Structure 1
Amino acid sequence: MSVLTEPPEMHTNILIVEDDMAIREMMAFSLKREGFDPIKAASGNEALEQLNQVHPDLIVVDWGLPDMSGIDLIDMIRRDEVVKEVPIIMLTARSEEHDKIKGLERGADDYLTKPASMLELMARIRAHLRRSKGFETSHKLSFQDIVMDASAHEVTVNESGVSLSLTEYKLLKLFLQNPNKLLAREHILNHVWGRNTIVEDRTVDVHVLRLRKALKPHERDKWIQTVRGIGYKLATA
């Protein structure tokens, strides 16, 4: 069994992008009551500012925003390397079938028309979270004999436990999600530390060294390979 020397982050952040204050506050209240952490934005630009600060687990987007359409905001999110995989539910007063199709084709994962039942919205949020990375039926990631059980926050190599700090755990998780793929330092910084965090590229190097040190007793340190001048990758050869 692995031991994390720092507590893992357990919050589930839901970004609400809705210009109607009453609806926005009602959704935030319902989310908080259900154990989620709501983040609120009243416009597309405010949502983009929030996305520079946090990485939400799911986004609820209104179609009609004051500064841009919800569709345009979804386009921007889907082009963003850091948050492009986040599930998005579109919430709108438009009920025509062609509007629903347009929303789904442009990147929304689901579509609810107003006035929407909060019970139905919560059910759909939970359904999409179960399908997303942190809530899959299988919580395990693996590469060869390195296995990470995300539900238990445990890492083993050949069934022997590995002790990791929270940052090392996040770093290894990113490698396990991208086996045999070259990850640039900037990509690693964005995904492990957050896009708006002020840290240097050297920070990545230091934590890769620590991760290698944790894997060395299991003879897997060399699997974290350096690609000079670019970044790192998890590979056996």
Structure 2
Amino acid sequence: MAAGPGITAIGFDADDTLWQNETFFRMTEQRFAELLSGHGEHHVISARLLEAERRNLRYYGYGVKGFTLSMIETAVEVTRGEVPSSVIAEILSFGRQMLENPVETLPHARETLDALAGRYRILLITKGDLFDQERKLAQSGLGEYFNAVEIVSEKTPGTYERIFTRHADGPGRAVMVGNSLKSDVVPAIAAGGYGIHVPHELTWILEHEEAPEDNPRFRRIEDLAQLPPLLGQIT
């Protein structure tokens, strides 16, 4: 398969597209709710945590560190300021454990990148904590496949226009592949590119958005193994 005359670059999301991520957040959320079970039922603690995450995104951004700070803030709130220092210490240990989790690549990630290497410019476009994303990329063993790596604070149409212009032939000749409709697909299409949705079994609720089913630049695949033949059909 050769690159078609239209598409010359492929952007890949990282978390829950190339490797597992949300699983660790949900596991930690479960532990957090159990830790504070004396102050509310699981669904109540989880809802309060989500509220804290939502309002803190503008201050802390995405990733484990912001999540840990939101857990601490939630613990202070639900205990009305009486959270023991031992609980704060436990929450901090949750965050450290998340930052030490081994990287588990998703099915077909390596094989797909290997099939596309040398035929397209391959870019990693991910958001989150700089140190953690760099750690996961290094441990994944996938770094050799990328012509460029961009770790950004947010994914907007302007983000994709800038990155695809800087590293390739502009968004009009690029596709973005990811599990998040809100961050990976919709803004890439708005920038003038293609958006290819690869659903993951767990997607953070703040990344949910309606799929642009009627947009001619929208595609959906079941897993990454379907990407190479799909790209061959896009011109």
Calculate the TM-score normalised by the size of structure 1: 0.30
Which structure shows the higher strand fraction?
A: 1
Larger helix percent: 2
